Amino acid sequence: MAKSTPAIPTTTADPRRRATIPASGGDPAALLAEMQAMRAEDADWQGGRTWSMVYYIGPEHHAFLKQAHNLYFAENGLNPMAFKSLKRMESEVVQMSASMLNGGRDTVGTMTSGGTESILLTVKAARDRARKSRPWILRPELVAPKTIHVAFDKACHYFNVKPRYIDIGPDYRADVEAMRKAIGRNTILVAASAPQYPQGVIDPIAELGEICEAKGVPFHVDACFGGFLLPWIEKLGHDIPTFDFRVPGVTSMSADVHKFGYAAKGASVILYRDMSYLKHQFFVSTDWPGGIYASPSMPGTRPGGPIAAAWAAMKSVGEAGYLELAREAVAAAQELRDGVEAIEGLTVLGAAHSTVVAIGTTDGAVDIYAVADVLQDKGWSIDRQQTPACLHCTVNAHNRPQVPTFLVDLKEAAAHVAAHPELASEGNAAMYGMMAKVPVRGLVKLSVQKVMESMYGPDGTVPDLSQLGAAEDDGFVLQFMHKYGDQAMEMLDRVNGFRASIGGRLRRK
């Protein structure tokens, strides 16, 4: 990152002043320098210190992607008649993805702006298909394991589908029997992951596919994360569960080219077994005075850059390149797993199906959120997860050189936190810890809503999480936590202990 670039005063430095379009245009070079300086505060992904969000394989590929993207910077995929070359590239990306995931001759699909859009469309298409084929369903339902990506929750929220989240097994994978029981007459779609994001394990796709096929229910495999990784891991000879269109019951799959496909951001693929599913994704309007309007996915204007860069990435990396990148990423993940297991108090959660390493604690002696705070202070960007509390590392080939340094820092952080248990009730750790423990989730939601309102309010600033609750309108939970700190944590532990013992007794009866 541009850490050495001198800070240049920004035009919105005064927080009370709201940004306006400058009266006259600025100097492009000065503006670029200003943007470069602003980036100094951001996560250091080029240095391999970011364990999620960025998929990067080096400066050469990066520069090439930019060229491909720039070539189609102005083009609009909305009208395939006007931009035939974009349509051709989209079709080829879809076909290459379908063959990678063992689709058949009839497999069809479209590109989308990312995993979330692919998932939104899957749920919308399943709902609309059910409206035609099973019109008696008044309250459509989705059945999925609890670990399914949250974009499904968003889709259910947007499209008025009731989500039924099913408990997972001790291996973090979908519980096949519980899923079978949950599928009912209102089920319009079953979904599972290959792999799920939190622990990186692949759900039992073959078993679930068999059930869905027998019941005649569409089955989506969310391979947004692993679609461009698992095929290569399998080809390298690793024994992983079958996860794709080879399973007859699988009717659709999503795979993100902007993740392990190493394309530019804004590129995912949604695939269906055949057109009888895809046709419910399309939107056609015939009566608008602006003309007859047909669109395959959610946006109107479809930026050409991400489509072009996805095509260019797949063609330039090629199968040999993807295999090599997967080999490096798997090796890096294994080194990280082994290193974590050797650290007192820490353990890795879930089987090694992918290159995710989820770091939890063995006996709760080390507060994992406090470990995350220490790592953050050391310049690492790492995500905190809940139920169970753990940290998430998405491991790329690019992270491999950093693994030894990270393990040294992680070991130090774990030892430091074990020696200073009070860190669990300070800074971000306190916030994440308490948020995870509050039993009434609606209260947590209200508080997070408050954070969003502040972040997207008139000033649009990113709040300091450790200071949340200090302001009067921060919401009850945040204020409570801010005011009572340690005591609030103890109280929540007692409440949760009581709930667990009641739950245990009820289950035994």
Ligand X SMILES: Cc1ncc(COP(=O)(O)O)c(C=O)c1O
Identified binder of ligand X from the candidate list 126, 130, 143, 151, rule CB under 6 A: 151
Residue 140 CB, shortest distance to ligand X, in Å, is 21
55 versus 480: smaller Cβ distance to ligand X: 55
Residue 15 CB, shortest distance to ligand X, in Å, is 30
Judged by CB under 6 A, does residue 90 bind ligand X?
A: no
122 versus 425: smaller Cβ distance to ligand X: 122
d(CA 257, CA 69): 14
d(CA 493, CA 194): 34
191 versus 366: smaller Cβ distance to ligand X: 191
Judged by CB under 6 A, does residue 355 bind ligand X?
A: no
256 versus 328: smaller Cβ distance to ligand X: 256
CA atoms within 13 A on the CB side of 495: 12
Identified binder of ligand X from the candidate list 75, 141, 207, 222, rule CB under 6 A: 222
- Stretch of 221-229, 294-302, 308-316, 437-445 lying at the interface with ligand X (CB under 6 A): 221-229
Judged by CB under 6 A, does residue 225 bind ligand X?
A: yes
Residues making up the chain, counted from first to last: 509
Residue 118 CB, shortest distance to ligand X, in Å, is 8
Judged by CB under 6 A, does residue 360 bind ligand X?
A: no
CA 307 to chain centre: 20
Judged by CB under 6 A, does residue 115 bind ligand X?
A: yes
Please give the residue whose beta carbon sits closest to ligand X in the complex: 115
Residue 479 burial (CB count, 10 A)? 18
d(CA 86, CA 303): 10
Judged by CB under 6 A, does residue 116 bind ligand X?
A: yes
d(CA 160, CA 155): 8
Judged by CB under 6 A, does residue 203 bind ligand X?
A: no
97 versus 479: smaller Cβ distance to ligand X: 97
- Stretch of 113-121, 123-131, 360-368, 457-465 lying at the interface with ligand X (CB under 6 A): 113-121
- Stretch of 219-227, 344-352, 448-456, 495-503 lying at the interface with ligand X (CB under 6 A): 219-227
d(CA 142, CA 220): 10
Residue 445 CB, shortest distance to ligand X, in Å, is 20
Residue 373 burial (CB count, 10 A)? 24
119 versus 263: smaller Cβ distance to ligand X: 119
Place of tokens 């059945």: 143
304-341 and 59-71 helices, crossing angle to 10°: 160
User: What's the burial of 81, exposed, middle or buried (CB within 10 Å: 0-12/13-18/19+)?
Assistant: exposed
Residue 371 CB, shortest distance to ligand X, in Å, is 22
Instruction: Name the amino acid, one letter, at 295.
Output: S
Which residues, numbered 301-340, are part of the site for ligand X (CB under 6 A)? none
d(CA 381, CA 419): 23
Instruction: Name the amino acid, one letter, at 62.
Output: H
Residue 384 forms beta bridges with which residues? 391
115 versus 204: smaller Cβ distance to ligand X: 115
49 versus 392: smaller Cβ distance to ligand X: 392
- x/- mask, ligand X, residues 251-290, rule CB under 6 A, reads -----x----------------------------------
385 versus 402: smaller Cβ distance to ligand X: 385
d(CA 232, CA 329): 11
Identified binder of ligand X from the candidate list 48, 77, 103, 114, rule CB under 6 A: 114
Residue 119 CB, shortest distance to ligand X, in Å, is 6
Identified binder of ligand X from the candidate list 224, 326, 329, 372, rule CB under 6 A: 224
d(CA 152, CA 154): 5
- x/- mask, ligand X, residues 387-426, rule CB under 6 A, reads ----------------------------------------
Judged by CB under 6 A, does residue 197 bind ligand X?
A: yes
Identified binder of ligand X from the candidate list 193, 281, 399, 479, rule CB under 6 A: 193
**Angle CA 160–164–170, to nearest 5:** 150
Of 250, 154, 157, 155, nearest to 202 by C-alpha is 250
Given strand 383-385, what is the order of strands in its sheet?
346-349, 356-361, 390-394, 383-385
SS (H, E, C) 437-480: HCCCHHHHHHHHHHHHHHHCCCCCCCCCHHHCCCCCCCCHHHHH
178 versus 298: smaller Cβ distance to ligand X: 298
Contacts with ligand X by CB under 6 A: the residue count is 12
Residue 271 forms beta bridges with which residues? 109, 253
Identified binder of ligand X from the candidate list 149, 280, 302, 384, rule CB under 6 A: 149
d(CA 39, CA 33): 10
Positions that interact with ligand X (CB under 6 A): 114-116, 119, 149, 151, 193, 197, 222, 224-225, 256
